[in-house]
Structure 1
């Protein structure tokens, strides 16, 4: 099992990984269609979107958590 102290980093990694994977798969398909070069285009796009997603999740997740804490009851 993974230590609880790493839970925020694990959340950021899994959220960024999953979101960038799904979005890049879908957006690449919508923009370019599916052919023999689809996965090459996808991997190129994902190599950019994954780091962006990790950085965005690192910045946005704490802000969203604070907002959710403010608008929900304890």
Structure 2
């Protein structure tokens, strides 16, 4: 198992992987249609986008948390 101190990084890895997988699939389908080469095109687009999405999540997540904290009423 992975130590607790890496929870933020593992969360970012999983979140960015799943989100980039879905978004790249939708974008690829809209661009190419469901052609025979779609799975390979999708995987290629996904891997490229994941390389960008993972570090972006690590940078943007703390900013988003602070913004949400300011928007939520503290009861």
* CA deviation profile, 1:28-58 (whole Å, cap 9, x unmatched): 0011101210011112211210111102101
Mapping for residues 2-17 of structure 1, pairs under 5 Å: 2-17=2-17
Q: CA deviation at 1:10?
A: 1.4
Aligned residues: 74
**Structure 2: segments with no counterpart, 5+ residues:** none
What is the CA–CA distance in structure 1 between the aligned matches of 2:11 and 2:47, rounded to whole Å? 20
> Which runs of at least 4 in structure 1 moved beyond 4 Å after TM superposition?
none
Mapping for residues 36-47 of structure 1, pairs under 5 Å: 36-47=36-47
TM-score (norm: length of structure 2):
0.86
**Structure 1: segments with no counterpart, 5+ residues:** none
Q: CA deviation at 1:2?
A: 4.0
For the aligned residues, what is the CA RMSD? 1.5
